[in-house]
Structure 1
């Protein structure tokens, strides 16, 4: 498993279950058949900007730093410029080609922003399908990001 796939799994686990320590995170990854060392997880925690915060029940748990919407959009643009190869609109969907092993991480960033023009994403190894509610929304998404691929 490569870094982007592992980090996508880390982000998914932290969003889905209360994880309070790196040991708990390692165990959750192990349960998902993902092998990682303590040092690797420590780097992932730092790179993903994971921090500890109290949840609604007062329990301390890992949380992903989200930042404001503007910083998320800037980060998405930077990621698209770094790993995106192209975008093609097909009716109400956009197909984004990425460098190998980057589809999941880029799709997670798109999902994280909650664009009203995006219903959801499907991600693979090097391809993302961005589903929009209609062709107008899909065209908006394509126009917003097509210049990032140059």
Structure 2
């Protein structure tokens, strides 16, 4: 199947349904006669600038991002503002608590940016461990996050 046709169908399905996971999207695509791998779906989501947003009842679902193309740094700052609840510095690491199901997205953005103060990240359901080379770099990471926290 041509990418353009598949992506048009993905846009239609996301607009008409509240789809929350790649697995759900793969299933509904299959029901519509389109077979795609998880890697293909993931690539389509990135190319189409599909984001996750919360509805009025708090359910997270995919949506097509409308608006100007943000820089990678803006994506990180927006993700911090929208998803981070708290950050705790522990020597050369920061423990970041996020809203449920948002840790992986923020972690991927940080990894993609290749932030010089970050050696690596480990993400779970609602927590990210950000590892730095030294305490000074870890403090810089914490201070950057705190600037963008809603409750700060």
TM over 0.5: yes
Larger radius of gyration: 2
Q: Distance in 2 between matches of 1:71 and 1:41?
A: 19
Change beyond 3 A, Cα 1:118–1:43: closer
Cα distance, 1:48 vs structure 2: 4.4
State the TM-score, normalized to the length of structure 2. Answer: 0.58
Q: Distance in 2 between matches of 1:42 and 1:119?
A: 28
Change beyond 3 A, Cα 1:45–1:118: same
Cα RMSD (Å): 3.2
The residue correspondences of 1:66-81 to structure 2 (distance < 5 A) are 71-81=71-81
**In structure 1, what is the equivalent of residue 120 of structure 2?**
120
**In structure 1, what is the equivalent of residue 15 of structure 2?**
none
Cα distance, 1:47 vs structure 2: 2.2
| Secondary structure class of the residue paired with 1:133 | coil
| Secondary structure class of the residue paired with 2:87 | strand
Count, aligned residues: 104
Gapped regions of structure 2 (runs ≥ 5): 1-18, 24-33, 52-69
Change beyond 3 A, Cα 1:129–1:44: same
Q: Distance in 1 between matches of 2:46 and 2:112?
A: 18
The residue correspondences of 1:78-97 to structure 2 (distance < 5 A) are 78-97=78-97
- Deviation digits for residues 44-98 of structure 1, max 9, x if unmatched? 641249xxxxxxxxxxxxxxxxxxxx81111100111011111111000001111
Gapped regions of structure 1 (runs ≥ 5): 8-22, 50-69
Q: Distance in 2 between matches of 1:45 and 1:6?
A: 14
Cα distance, 1:6 vs structure 2: 3.5
State the TM-score, normalized to the length of structure 1. Answer: 0.59
**In structure 1, what is the equivalent of residue 135 of structure 2?**
135
- Deviation digits for residues 97-141 of structure 1, max 9, x if unmatched? 110011111100010111111000000000000000010100011
Change beyond 3 A, Cα 1:122–1:42: closer
**Which structure exhibits the higher relative contact order, with contacts defined as CA atoms closer than 8 Å and separated by 6 or more residues?**
1
| Secondary structure class of the residue paired with 2:116 | coil
